[in-house]
Amino acid sequence: MATIGAPLLQTKEGSPRGPLERREERLAWLMLLPVVLALLALGVYPVLSTLWFSFQQGGSFGLGTTSAGLANYLRLLHDDQFWSALRFSLLYSLVTVCGQMICGTALALFANRRFRGRWLARAAILFPWAIPTATNSVIWAYMFNDQYGLVNSLLEHLGLMNPAHPIVWLGSAQLATLLIYVLAIWKANSLVALLVLAGLQGIPEEVYEAARVDGASRWQILWRVTLPLLRPVLLVTLILRTIESLQAFDLISAFTNGGPGNATQNLGLYIYLQIQQFGDFGYGSTIAVVLTAITLVFIVLYMRTLLRTGTR
């Protein structure tokens, strides 16, 4: 079985020997060439420019900068706003990705059942994620407005809130952070659900049959059969959600703009501020590079975990 092709991370590298292998290699390169060329043409320059700017300082919007050596990186060490944004980003990523993975998988398992009205469940999965993120955040901010928001109006109608003392949802750091978590989980559990659902559809029915014949309970089937088979999909979902959660911007900027104070400012907002508003390409790019490195660490960790558990 492993002769034709094994899962990616178990593949032995090194130069192939026979003519068959050489043909395989040629085919691989042919299939990869367009992607590699496209990325070289468009993707590489912005990345190199970001790396280069992280060693530059001064100037305005990247014009007239001078060499900075490691000054930008050293500046990070004493920048309280960077550290608080980093802390927010990491916590945000941890909480929301976990939430999305759990809620999304549960949603997918539910929507994979066969029942009348299942299309409603599928629509429910698609919907939150189909709204443009920024528009969505404006709607949420509207819903949580303390004066004319839906949520306070509902609470008032239910007699749960005194209209003279409306709940100021976005006025305190704790509540605002909590709401951002909820919003982020709500917005992107769709993506997890979609991917998991497609993964579930790829699992042949025979596998479940076999498990049932062996007398496995539903719970056992979920943990011993379904989830292990979903591992590749779950891993890639985890990776994608991690990347996006660490880069989050639209969602927070249109919701709280980082407020109150700087309590909900994440690295995405801070980079935006430095680059697009202050024109400080040097420092903004430095933070971008650090964020990229952090993301890379996460991804390598996830992949390692897969590699270990993958080779049973």
Partner 1 sequence: MVINDDAPQMQPVRSEMGPAAGSAFRLEAEPNPASSPRLTRRRVLSQGVKASLGVTVLGSWLAACGGAPASTSGPVTIQFAALVDTTGEQTAEIKRFNDLHAGKIHVDYVELPSVATDQYSKFVNAFRAQSPTPDVVQIDVTWPAQFATPGWLAPIDQYVTSSYLNQFWPSARTVGRVNGHLYGIQRYMDIGMLYYRTDLVEKYGGSVPQTREEMQALAERILAGESSHGVSYGYLMPGKKIEAIVDEWLEFLWGAGGSIGEPGKLQVNGPLQVDALQYMHDLIYKFRLAPTGTSTYVPNDILALFSQGKAPFMRNWVFAYAIANTPSRSKVAGKVGVAPTLATSGHSGHGCTGGWVLAINANSQYKDAAWTFIDYMLSKETQTSMALNAGLIPSRPDVVSDASVQAKVPYFKQIGSILNSGQNRPTLKNYNQFTTPLQAAINSVLSNQASPSAALSSVQTQVASLT
Partner 2 sequence: MALAPTTTAPATESSRQAARPRGPLLKLKPLTRQTLLYLVLAVIIVVQFLPLIWALLTSLMTPQETTAVPVPLWPAHPTVSSYSEALQGDIGRYYLNSIIASLVSTLVTMFLATLAAYAFARLRFRWKRLILLFVVSLSLFPPFSQVIPLYMVLQSLHLIGSLLALIIPYSVFGLPMAILILMAFLQEVPFEYEEAAALDGLSRLGAFVRIVLPMIIPGLFTTAVIVFVGDWNEYLFALNYTTTATYTLPVGIVILSQTEFTTNFGVLSAAMVMSVVPLVALILLLERRIVSGLTAGGLKG
x/- string (CB under 8 A) for partner 1, residues 239-278? -----------------xxxxxxxx-x-------x--xxx
User: DSSP letters of 152-170?
Assistant: HHHHHHTT-S-TTS---TT
Chain residues 41-100 in contact with partner 2, contact rule CB under 8 A? 41-47, 49-50, 53, 61-62
Interface positions, 273-302, toward partner 1 (CB under 8 A): 273, 276-279
The 10 Å Cβ neighbour count of residue 275 is: 21
**Can residue 142 be called a binding residue for partner 2 (CB under 8 A)?**
yes
Binder to partner 2 among 31, 64, 66, 164 (CB under 8 A)? 31
Residue burial 28-64, b: 16+ Cβ < 10 Å; e: rest = eeeeeeeeeeeeeeeeeeeeeebeebbbbbeeeebee
CA distance 92 to 291: 14
Site membership for partner 2, residue 227 (CB under 8 A): no
Residue 126 binding: pick among partner 1, partner 2, none (C-beta 5-8 Å cut-off by kind)? partner 2
Q: Verify binding: residue 34, partner 1, rule CB under 8 A.
A: yes
Closer by beta carbon to partner 1, 61 or else 223: 61
**Cα(94)–Cα(44) distance, integer angstroms:** 29
Contact region with partner 2 (CB under 8 A), list: 65-73, 80-88, 92-100, 218-226: 218-226
199 binds partner 2 (CB under 8 A): yes
Give, in degrees to the nearest 5, the angle at Cα 30 between 29 and 32.
60
Among 157, 165, 308, 312, binds partner 2 (CB under 8 A): 157
Integer Cα distance of 230 and 208 in angstroms: 13
- Which of the residues 153 through 182 are near partner 1 (CB under 8 A)? 164-166, 168-173
Question: What value, to the nearest 5°, has the Cα angle with vertex 296 and ends 291 and 298?
Answer: 100
Residue 57: beta bridge partners?
A: 66
7 touches partner 2 by CB under 8 A: yes
Token pair listed for 258: 């980082």
Work out which of 3, 15, 147, 201 binds partner 1, going by CB under 8 A.
Answer: 147
**What is the spatial distance between Cα 42 and Cα 23, in angstroms, rounded to a whole number?**
29
Which positions lie near partner 1, rule CB under 8 A?
A: 34, 37-38, 41, 60-63, 145-148, 164-166, 168-173, 256-263, 265, 273, 276-279
